[in-house]
Amino acid sequence: MTDKAKTPANEMWGGRFEARPDQILEQINASIDYDRRLATQDITASQEHARMLAAQGIISEADSAAICEGLGRVLAEIEAGEFEFSRALEDIHMNVEARLKALIGEPAGRLHTARSRNDQVATDFKLWVRARIDGDIDALSALIAALLGQAEAGADLVMPGFTHLQTAQPVTFGHHMMAYVEMFGRDRSRLVDARARMNESPLGAAALAGTSFPIDRHRTAQALGFDRPAANSLDAVSDRDFALEYLSAASICAAHLSRLAEEMVIWSSAQFQFIRLSDQWTTGSSIMPQKRNPDAAELVRAKVGRIMGALIGLMTVMKGLPLAYSKDMQEDKERVFDGADALGLSLAAMTGMVRDMRPVPDALRAAAGAAFSTATDLADWLVRRLDMPFRDAHHVTGSLVKLAETSGVDLDGLSLQQMQTVEPRITEEVFAVLGVDNSVASRVSYGGTAPDQVRAQIARWREQENA
């Protein structure tokens, strides 16, 4: 035969091919530049597959031992940075197998029995995503701990609460921190849910239809830490829900991070001065010597774009794909890698900033009392003491706010006589409710901003976190 028979188009699948692929095909087809990040998962899954094949009598124990030992050497080479990745070998699966063949010879060819790259890649990728979910769960716990620390220190610290970013009612800094504890707590539970749902092994689904070899999918599932094998081979190789679910949970978490980041940007501005970030978490300007920029907070605010972009990108890849595997699905990995990296970095940066941030009590208190922030307390007092319907009390308070505004004072700057021109039944006692400390202390409803309520929530969280 020709030379081509001696140098097949591809050493893995080139049997029926005579010519090498076009160079552009090789370029568009290769995923090795990024899926090398699956090397550890690929090798671990292959070792378990080989052990199972031997236990089932499908390959010999000697071959299995040679494969497992050889794969260990391949991994060592990769970890040492000595491995030569080849684009012609497309992806991590074939790069590893080709190297295994070079190292151990014939037994390497038996590893791919009763398996396909389709179930292989689904397994590797799931293991990767699962490990990242575990890391993110821990990172969220660290962030929650940092927020609880700030909440405890700031349980009595009054600050303005906002709606529409307009001063609304006084709240406490601790209460504000605890709002984020709730949000990140939900993010963590979404990841826990996603992990439980995804934890089924695709390995052994083979190309799409299962295999005629007497494999033991329960064994490999268990060895790889899965709860069970995936029950439908077509679904097992074509399912990327785990990646989509991870990215959607990551997107919601990143959206939360962006909100806290935005508040840090606003709060650390010269106009607000509610918090200070140290030198460790701010940068200078190359032209304006006075500047202290919250770059990390701004970047955390921005990273949500990458993470949501990854979700939309992958959703678009998966939409309309017929069962089972299609090469389109190779486009899953870069999205998820990029989104996961962005989330991991954002969580670490946010935890660092939350630990670093120092609230400025005087500025918070001054702002808490400004802009008629206790107007609702005044209206509530009129309801309670004068038995006014709330709507009327709202109206009277509105007139008092207008009077204060035209007099150039805040509500507690009005004299009793001035107030009585609007509502003659008002007494001296009203001034007590106009103070911000009384205002927050009065909000004792469950989940409200009263320091005792906030402390109760902190205690509940602490107990749960330490359980």
Residues engaged in binding ligand ARG (CB under 6 A)? 31, 35, 91, 117-118, 121, 325, 327, 329-330
Rounded CA gap, 163 and 147, in Å?
22
Q: Which is nearer to ligand ARG, 118 or 282 (CB)?
A: 118
DSSP-assigned letter for residue 36:
G
Residue 317: CB minimum distance to ligand ARG, A: 11
In the chain, how long is the greatest CA-to-CA distance? 111
Shortest distance, position 376 Cβ to ligand ARG, whole Å: 58
Q: Closest approach of Cβ 132 to ligand ARG, in Å?
A: 17
31 vs 351, which CB is nearer to ligand ARG?
Answer: 31
Q: Which of 285, 399, 407, 415 is catalytic?
A: 285
CA 306/CA 133 separation, integer angstroms: 18
**C-beta closer to ligand ARG: residue 94 or 191:** 94
Nearer to ligand ARG, 325 or 461 (CB): 325
Residue 394 a catalytic site member = no
Minimum distance of ligand ARG from residue 51's CB (angstroms): 22
Exactly one of 164, 212, 286, 445 is catalytic; name it: 164
Decide whether 230 or 375 has the Cβ nearer to ligand ARG. Answer: 230
**CA 230 to each of CA 257, 315, 332, 360: distance values in angstroms, whole numbers, following the listed order:** 34, 22, 20, 54
**Distance (Å, whole) CA 97 – CA 198:** 27
CA distances to 137, 175, 192, 295 from 299, in Å: 21, 25, 26, 6
Return the bridge partners of 172, or none: 158
Question: Cβ closer to ligand ARG: 289 or 322?
Answer: 322
Residue 147 contacts residue 177 (beta carbons within 8 Å): yes
State the virtual CA torsion across 385, 386, 387, 392 in degrees, nearest 10.
-120
| Residue 209 CB-half CA count within 13 A | 3
- Could you tell me if 95 and 42 are in contact, meaning their C-beta atoms sit under 8 angstroms apart? no
Selection from 391, 369, 380, 368 nearest residue 443 by Cα: 380
Task: Write down the least CB distance from residue 118 to ligand ARG, Å.
Answer: 5
**DSSP H or E stretch at residue 171:** strand 166-172
| Shortest Cβ 322–ligand ARG spacing (Å) | 14
Q: Give least dist CB 316 to ligand ARG, A.
A: 17
Shorter beta-carbon distance to ligand ARG: residue 120 or 373 = 120
CA distances in angstroms from 18 to 4, 11, 27, 94, 230, listed in the order given:
6, 12, 19, 20, 38
- Give yes or no: 175 in active site: no
Catalytic site residues? 164, 285
